[in-house]
Amino acid sequence: MRLISFRPASERDSASAPRAGALLGDGADVLDFQAAYEALVSARLPSPRLSVLDWFDLERPLWSKARTLHDSIVRDEEALLSVRETGAVLERSKVELLAPVPRPGKVICVGLNYRDHAAEAKMAIPERPVLFSKFSSCVIASGQDVTIPADSTQVDYEAELAVVIGRRATQVARDRALEHVLGYVNFNDVSARDFQFGDGQWQRGKSCDTFAPMGEFIVTPDEVGDPHRLRIQLRLNGKTMQDSNTEQLIFDIPTLIEFISRSITLEPGDVIATGTPPGVGFARRPPVFLQTGDIMEVEIERLGVLRNRMAASRARP
């Protein structure tokens, strides 16, 4: 299942809450979970508009209802036609796709987690995962602009596979870790290198506004298969800059979930960005930094394409 957050185009400029749903078929249609449930079950849900995470929590009955509704529609053409007539299936061209988790509780990133990237940087393999965070307020959707900060001239790209947590995880053993995964999504750990290296710590350089593009959708584990055998690429203006495979991860996903959950409780909607492969801009000779008008595309096998344009620095007041 390809999970999304969206707004109908008619609500684009409103303050309406994001809706949860899934792409159907070739992606031309969108299933609205709440509208479909109310139409098919003929029952009003307890809230006029449930949040996205109400549907993306694997422990809640709403998740199993959404899964059942989706699967029945996918299998049965008549069911799809019936739901379409209720207005619960929308044309994708008539909705605005948001970041799949519009405001994660936590965005936890892993540094230096690809063997080939460590070799490129001439750095030793870490003995344990190196963690840092990005503020959740910098999350944006595919198609939205990434803004170059007014004081930075060294903005860089980082293609990453991200894991979205779907079940509360505390002190999780490695062999149970994947039970807590909602799905996988493309992620771009955009970084202002001059801030990152000049500040002596990474928070500002990693968390500038718009520096966490994510999307277009979350793919559930049953459709991904082994997340450690996925090709991962970043293209800049059509030129391939990063091209590796998640089999190069130093610490795999179960290890990361086990390590993080020893001291940090993971909750539904939290995002773990698992690290970037070689080819980042600052490590090139000469370095390559992002400019206004550049187009970044993160493509991970089975996860579609995350595409964002670089926008000019915001003028100071």
The secondary element (H helix, E strand) that includes residue 297 is strand 295-300
User: Where in the chain are the domains?
Assistant: 2-97, 107-311
Q: Which residues are paired to 159 by β-bridges? A: 188
pLDDT band at 144 (very low <50, low <70, confident <90, very high): very high
Is the pLDDT at 246 greater than 80, yes or no?
yes
Burial level of 74, CB count in 10 A (0-12/13-18/19+)? middle
Range among 72-76, 96-100, 311-315 with highest mean pLDDT value = 96-100
Is the pLDDT at 293 greater than 80, yes or no?
yes
* Span 192-227, pLDDT tens digits: 999 998 998 899 999 999 999 999 999 999 999 999
Q: Give the torsion sign (CA, 16, 210, 247, 257).
A: negative
CATH tag for 107-311 (out of 1.10.1040.10, 3.90.850.10, 3.40.50.300, 3.30.360.10) = 3.90.850.10
* Span 8-40, pLDDT tens digits: 887 766 667 899 999 998 899 999 998 888 877
Q: What is the mean pLDDT of residues 55-70?
A: 92
Q: Check residue 42 and give its pLDDT.
A: 58
Is the pLDDT at 114 greater than 80, yes or no?
yes
pTM of the model: 0.94
Give the C-alpha separation, 308 to 144, whole Å: 6
